[in-house]
Every structure is written in C-alpha cells, then in structure tokens.
Chains A and B, each alone.
Chain A
Amino acid sequence: MTATDMMTQPTLTTDAIQGQKLAILGLSAFYGDFLALSEISLSIEPRAITAFIGPSGCGKSTLLRTINRMHEVTPGASVAGSIRLDGTDLYDTRIDPVSVRRRIGMVFQRPNPFPTMSIKENVMAGIKLQHRHLAKSDAEDLVELSLRAANLWDSVKDRLNKPGASLSGGQQQRLCIARVIAVEPDVILMDEPCSALDPISTAAIEDLMLNLRRDYTVVIVTHNMQQAARVSDKTAFFTVEATGEPGRLVEYDNTATIFSNPSMKATEDYVAGRFG
C-alpha cells in the first residue's frame, strides 16, 4: 500500500471517485454462517457496462448488493474483504453505509415506484429522502433532466402529477432509473432490470443503458445472454458447484472474448446454453 493510499480520507466526495475504478478485492459474503460467495476479486471499468452472468443461486445478486452495502440490510448478512472506489475502502468501519448508497444507485428486478407518490415526486424521492432541498425551479429542471435521461420525458411530461403506479411496467422501470439518476450517483447497479418486462420495454431499457454508459459506471445482472452480449463491455461469469456451496468467479474478460473465445470450458458451455 502506498503512502497516498494510507492518507485517503474515508469520506466519499464526488471528486474522489468520479470516473474512477471500482475494485472488488477478496470479497466473501455470508448469510449468517452460510458462505454465499467466496473470495471474489475483480476490477470494474469506469464508464462501461459490466455484466454478471451465471446460473441461479451463484451469488450475482449478492455480489451486486455488496457493492452499495445493501447486502448488510438483510438480517444476519455480513461480508469479508473489501471493495474500493478510487482507493477508498467502502467497508472501512468509519464509512457510513448511507453515504455509499448515495454514490452507488440501484435498480431492482421488479419496478418499485413509491405508490403514494406522483411521477414527479418519485423522481424527487431520493433528494427528499437524503434531506436535500432544492428550489422549486431547480427541482423542475432536475425532474425533466432525469426523465429525459431515462427516455421517459416525452411519454409522461403531460401527466407528471399522476401516480407513478399508473404507468406501464416498462415505464415504471424507467421511472425507477430516473429516480436513481436524479441523485447523481457515480455507479448504477441493475439486478435483472428487464426480467419483468416485455421485449419492447426491454429494448427501450437496453438503449437507455447504452446512453447511461457515457456518464456512469453500470453493472448489470442478467440471465439473458443476448442482452449481456448486446450491451456489456465486460462480462463476469460466476458459478456454483452445488446448493450450499459458495459461488465463485469463473472468468472475467471483455464481453466479446467471453462469448466467442472463453478460456474456460464452463464458460463456453454456459454461454452456449449447454449448462446443467
């Protein structure tokens, strides 16, 4: 460890991590005594899309949730190892997990807009929940900006005060993405964001991901091989030998390599659909 690393303050400032690498170092994740992931190390490129693929139960969601410290929200769950964002250990005991989540946003599998809030309020929810205050005009600008970034502005601009739940599933998911964009994170995590959506909504979200990649570091979990191949720059393949065993990282490489010329037999079988 270098002297500058030692000096790093354990607070997350935008400058400190903007566009910087996210590094997972020897990370193990537990649910109580159960070891769900064993010694995962990989380094995630900034402003690129990284896809996590692998069979059900191999720990993709678990790994994703360790990145924004959502894993520990599950009772009994814990981690060992570290995750660094520009050299700052997110698991440093002095770091407030809430501040980590303000820098690393998350989109869930099922669209989950807040049912008591309108479309506009949903976009502003993060700002409100983080106790930040914006002038009315700034708030309106932010709503428009975030909804535009989520490719949703044109379809909702005339009904911003309607309930968020009045949108279609695909629109709700884009609303959830707008909600994350509004708090200006540096990293956006998405756990199977399209698995509850029809093909047209899926295509819309994939387009959106490709746009997001210009400004954000994006990590997605997907079961859809074509999706991983279409949108991601890097792909990590995980597997698990049997239920009760920990998930492992098998191979991590450029997406093109993983899908055309993987170095491991297991990866080749999985991406070719010959798994299990």
Chain B
Amino acid sequence: MSTTDFVYTVGTRRKVVNTIAAVAITAFFAIAIVPLVSLLWTVISRGVARFDTTFFTYSMRGVVGDGGGAIHAITGTALITLAAVVISVPIGLGTAVYLTEYGRGPIPQLIRFLTDVMTGIPSIVAGLFAYALIVIFVGPGARAGVAGAIALSLLMIPVVIKSSEEMLRLVPEDLREASIALGAPKYKTVTSIVLPTAMSGIVAGVMLGVCRIIGETAPLLLVAGFTDSMNRNLFEGRMATLPVYIYSQWQNKGANQAAYDNRAWTAALVLILLVLIFNIASRVVAHYLSPKTSQSH
C-alpha cells in the first residue's frame, strides 16, 4: 500500500470531534466571562446613582446620611499609590538590573527565590511589617499614609522585579555587545542601551504593579487608618483610601442605609475605572515607548 495517497475529504468522525471541541471551548469561555460581566453590571448599575460632582468634590466631613463624597479617599489613594511607586520602582528596577546585568554566582538565585517568597506574602502581613516599622519611629498607635505606602511597596516590589527582569532579558545580547565594542563602560551600556530598549515593557510592568496594589485594603486599614476628612500629608495622621472607604461605608451604616450603600458602590466603580485606566495607559505608553522597527519609510 502506498503511503503517499492524499486524503481529499475530512472524515465525518473528525468533523464531529472538531465541532464538539469548538462548542466546548466556547462554552467554557462563556462560563468564565459570566461572573466578570455580572460583576461589572452590578457595580455600574449601583454605582451610577452617586457618580456625581458632589462625590468627586466633597469629603465625608460632618456628613450623616445623604450627600458627602470621596474626594479625600481618592486623594489618599492617589498619594499613597504614588508614594508606593516612588519606593518600589527604584528598588525593583535596581534589583532587576542587578539580576540581569551584574549578578554572578549564587546570589542572584537567592534573590530570585526571596522575590518568589515575597510575591506570596499575605497583604495583612505587609501591613503588620509597616506598622512595626512606624512604631519604631513614631510610637505605638501611629497611623500615617507613608506607612501604607511602605506596606504596598512590599507587595509591588516583587511584581516590578519580575516584570522588569523579564523585559531586560528580552533585550538582545547583540545590542549589549555592540555597545561594549564601541567602548562604552558597563554602566553606560545599561543606562543608554539596555534600559531604553526595555523601557516600554518596564513601564507597562510598573502600571500592572499599580493595578495590583491600588485595590489593597487590609494593610491600609491597619496602618493608614480611616478618616472622614481630607489629609494631604503622607507623614502625619490617618489618611482615607478608596478601598478602606468602601469598607467603612459598608461597615458603619447610619440611619439612611441606602446613602451609605450607594457611596460604597460608587467608590467601587471609581476603583474599577482607575484599574481600567491604568491598564489602557500601560498599553498606550508601551506602544509609544517601544523600539521603532517599522519598515515604513
């Protein structure tokens, strides 16, 4: 029998199997998407009620019942997240550069292992660590936005290390060699060639790290606390944040329960929108920073 005969039609059996597989895969996808759509629907439908200017201009100072807003919590989330980024990026990126460009021998392996361990730290533990740290400087019972930022950096640093290391590894060895052969000192090769080439990926990684921490609640409840008023000072006093705001609206409802519920849902909607914006921004930034390799003239 010849083994080179071509088969002109796909057998019925294979057609059936193909169809079943296609249906099954679509079904699983639908099942996966249902909770997501339902969550978005719930948050949007309940969040729109208070998605108004008052919400974005007023704090909760002196508010019982109706009205009030979350500008203090939005400001707090912005400040604490920004501070966490300021702490995490130099440490995380520096570590990644060490791992890919300088590390030799067993130390990089140890650092990678510790980074993996750090990825798994429960956020409440990060909060306790930050608390223990500010107690040393300020004393027991202290609360400060910066402590929240420290707790969040503990969660963000491993994300930045991992994503940046991956991006730095993608920089072709050819480019490093070309730079060294042109008489560049090592640090110049890193700062002028390797980092710019990997920049889009690094920035995208940092943005995803921000998405990871922006919704954290437990450590902030512990060390940044909650307040009804605006506090713009990271170094002194309690500072409200969106996740803790949601929690406290839900937890301490006054007589007019609906007003508290509505504020909590709107804050949840704002938080989801922030994550969405950061995701989109990371893509846009990645697009604009990525090396230009197009053949277009």
Q: Is the pair A112, B178 in contact by a Cβ cutoff of 8 Å?
A: yes
A42 contacts across to B, CB distance below 8 A? none
Chain A's closest residue to B291 (CB) is: A115
Q: Is the pair B291, A125 in contact by a Cβ cutoff of 8 Å?
A: no
Q: B294: which of A99, A110, A112, A163 is its contact (CB, 8 Å)?
A: A163
**Interface residue B279 (Cβ < 8 Å from any Cβ of A):** no
- Most central of A68, A101, A112 by chain B CB within 10 Å: A112
**Interface residue B182 (Cβ < 8 Å from any Cβ of A):** yes
Tell me the number of A-to-B contacts counted with CB atoms below 8 Å: 86
Q: Is the pair B178, A73 in contact by a Cβ cutoff of 8 Å?
A: no
Q: Is the pair A126, B292 in contact by a Cβ cutoff of 8 Å?
A: no
B contact residues, total (Cβ < 8 Å):
27
A73 contacts across to B, CB distance below 8 A? 177, 180
**Interface residue B53 (Cβ < 8 Å from any Cβ of A):** no
Q: Is the pair B183, A162 in contact by a Cβ cutoff of 8 Å?
A: no
A contact residues, total (Cβ < 8 Å):
31
Q: Which of B184-192, B225-233, B261-269 contacts A (4 or more CB under 8 A)?
A: B184-192
- In the assembled complex, the CB of A156 is this many whole angstroms from the nearest CB of chain B, namely 10
Q: Is the pair A183, B292 in contact by a Cβ cutoff of 8 Å?
A: no
With the chains together, A28 CA to B294 CA distance in Å? 43
Q: Is the pair A101, B183 in contact by a Cβ cutoff of 8 Å?
A: yes
Q: Is the pair B183, A183 in contact by a Cβ cutoff of 8 Å?
A: yes
**Interface residue B75 (Cβ < 8 Å from any Cβ of A):** no
A98 and B292 contact, Cβ closer than 8 Å, known pairs A73-B177, A116-B196, A128-B192: no
Interface string of A167-193 (1 = CB under 8 A from B): 000000000100110010000000000
A75 and B292 contact, Cβ closer than 8 Å, known pairs A108-B177, A112-B178, A129-B183: no
**Interface residue A165 (Cβ < 8 Å from any Cβ of B):** yes
With the chains together, A166 CA to B175 CA distance in Å? 16
Interface string of B191-224 (1 = CB under 8 A from A): 0110011010000000000000000000000000
**Interface residue B104 (Cβ < 8 Å from any Cβ of A):** yes
A101 and B182 contact, Cβ closer than 8 Å, known pairs A110-B174, A128-B192, A129-B189: yes
With the chains together, A149 CA to B179 CA distance in Å? 21
Chain B's closest residue to A100 (CB) is: B183
**A-facing residues in B262-297 (Cβ within 8 Å):** 291-297
A165 and B291 contact, Cβ closer than 8 Å, known pairs A110-B174, A129-B189, A159-B297: yes
B184 contacts across to A, CB distance below 8 A? 98, 126, 129-130
- In the assembled complex, the CB of A180 is this many whole angstroms from the nearest CB of chain B, namely 7
With the chains together, A172 CA to B184 CA distance in Å? 20
Interface string of A114-126 (1 = CB under 8 A from B): 1110000000011
**Interface residue B140 (Cβ < 8 Å from any Cβ of A):** no
A116 and B179 contact, Cβ closer than 8 Å, known pairs A162-B297, A166-B296: no
Q: Is the pair B293, A115 in contact by a Cβ cutoff of 8 Å?
A: yes
Q: Is the pair A116, B291 in contact by a Cβ cutoff of 8 Å?
A: yes
B180 contacts across to A, CB distance below 8 A? 70, 73, 101
A159 contacts across to B, CB distance below 8 A? 297
Q: Is the pair B174, A108 in contact by a Cβ cutoff of 8 Å?
A: yes
With the chains together, A166 CA to B295 CA distance in Å? 5
Q: Is the pair A126, B197 in contact by a Cβ cutoff of 8 Å?
A: no
A112 and B192 contact, Cβ closer than 8 Å, known pairs A125-B182, A126-B183, A166-B295: no
**Interface residue B255 (Cβ < 8 Å from any Cβ of A):** no
Chain B's closest residue to A125 (CB) is: B182
Chain A's closest residue to B171 (CB) is: A115
Q: A126: which of B182, B199, B293, B294 is its contact (CB, 8 Å)?
A: B182
With the chains together, A166 CA to B104 CA distance in Å? 36
- In the assembled complex, the CB of A108 is this many whole angstroms from the nearest CB of chain B, namely 7
Q: Is the pair A68, B181 in contact by a Cβ cutoff of 8 Å?
A: yes
- In the assembled complex, the CB of B107 is this many whole angstroms from the nearest CB of chain A, namely 14
- In the assembled complex, the CB of B287 is this many whole angstroms from the nearest CB of chain A, namely 14
Q: In the complex, given contacts A101-B183, A116-B292, A130-B184, what are 6 additional A-B residue pairs having Cβ atoms less than 8 angstroms apart?
A: A68-B181, A112-B174, A131-B188, A162-B297, A165-B292, A183-B183
- Chain B interface (Cβ within 8 Å of chain A)? 104, 172, 174-175, 177-185, 188-189, 192-193, 196-197, 199, 291-297
A-B contact pairs, 25 of them (CB 8 A): A73-B177, A98-B183, A99-B183, A101-B182, A102-B183, A106-B181, A108-B177, A112-B174, A112-B175, A112-B178, A115-B292, A115-B293, A116-B197, A116-B292, A125-B182, A126-B183, A129-B179, A129-B193, A131-B188, A162-B297, A165-B292, A165-B294, A166-B296, A166-B297, A179-B178
